[in-house]
Chains A and B, each alone.
Chain A
């Protein structure tokens, strides 16, 4: 159990809410991504110009959030699939929930460091 504002909620409920939140986040990104990639049909000049709009720190931070959302949604989705097709694994739902959260953080440390590199102080900027 953990306290969030005035509510006592379980990690499991947080995992459930996080799955929906990350799913909607990735879907909204996918919508924008399709529109942005449609500039490919206007030729190299239009596409390359549009791409330069995205080469900055705020967009890169957004990409790292997107990566975290996708990693979390993937790991939690595998947990859901395991429990749906092998109901006996529901016995381990709580350790699996912790494993998903720890796994997401563990994966995002190297991935986040690699992705932030062009804008990081150690890269000489």
Chain B
């Protein structure tokens, strides 16, 4: 056990630069990358509570109470503003947190050039569409059970 050994910062290949921390050191220059560095950590703290709470309710508590996830169950939850706001916050934070991580992973493995731009561009386009769909579904959900307004009605 090499407790106390200096492991950071280590120069070199970004993939091996910081293996024990599962993360890059804080960007030295202020700007977008540093904002996202802070966002990832702060949203991560919130997501530990939000995502774990969500999973414990939907996959463990539902099991223990003998309930079943169906339209009536969703109606009972999204009938109250609290759970809609909870799920909306979870959706936005998790999606931005996760997609930013995926963007960094693409950047690590695809060094530069057109392929990197293409992959990140596709990721951003997919994220934008899914973010709009997710927000639409939560906001327009009708507790009375009628199909929501819009092209789906």
* 8 Å CB contact of B22 from A15, A34, A42, A95: A15
User: In the bound complex, what is the Cα–Cα distance between A12 and B8 (angstroms)?
Assistant: 13
Query: Are A43 and B146 CB-contacts (below 8 A) given A51-B70, A114-B60?
Result: yes
Query: Are A23 and B98 CB-contacts (below 8 A) given A12-B19, A44-B71?
Result: yes
B134 within 8 A of A: yes
Query: Are A81 and B150 CB-contacts (below 8 A) given A38-B137, A94-B2?
Result: no
Contact indicator B105/A93 (Cβ below 8 Å):
no
Contact indicator B59/A93 (Cβ below 8 Å):
no
Contact indicator B41/A41 (Cβ below 8 Å):
no
Number of interchain pairs (Cβ within 8 Å)? 138
Q: How far is the CB of B129 from chain A (nearest CB, A)?
A: 9
Does more than half of chain B's interface fall in helix, strand or loop, or is it mixed? helix
Q: Interface readout for B58-100 with A: 1 if CB under 8 Å, 0 if not?
A: 0110011000011110100000000000000001001100110
Contact indicator B2/A81 (Cβ below 8 Å):
no
Contact indicator A37/B48 (Cβ below 8 Å):
no
A103 within 8 A of B: no
Q: How far is the CB of A8 from chain B (nearest CB, A)?
A: 13
Most-contacted residue by chain A among B7, B8, B91, B98 (CB, 10 A) = B98
A4 within 8 A of B: no
A115 within 8 A of B: yes
Query: Are A70 and B137 CB-contacts (below 8 A) given A42-B147, A84-B23?
Result: no
Contact indicator A27/B145 (Cβ below 8 Å):
no
Contact indicator A30/B94 (Cβ below 8 Å):
yes
Contact indicator B23/A67 (Cβ below 8 Å):
no
Contact indicator A77/B48 (Cβ below 8 Å):
yes
B32 within 8 A of A: no
User: In the bound complex, what is the Cα–Cα distance between A27 and B63 (angstroms)?
Assistant: 24
Contact indicator B55/A70 (Cβ below 8 Å):
yes
Interface CB pairs A-B, < 8 A, 15: A16-B21, A16-B22, A27-B98, A27-B102, A34-B137, A38-B137, A41-B150, A42-B147, A48-B71, A76-B22, A79-B22, A80-B23, A90-B20, A91-B3, A94-B20
- Give the 5 A-B CB pairs with smallest separation, nearest first: A12-B20, A19-B22, A27-B98, A44-B71, A43-B147
6 A-B pairs besides A12-B20, A38-B134 with CB distance below 8 A are: A16-B22, A20-B105, A41-B152, A44-B71, A76-B22, A85-B41
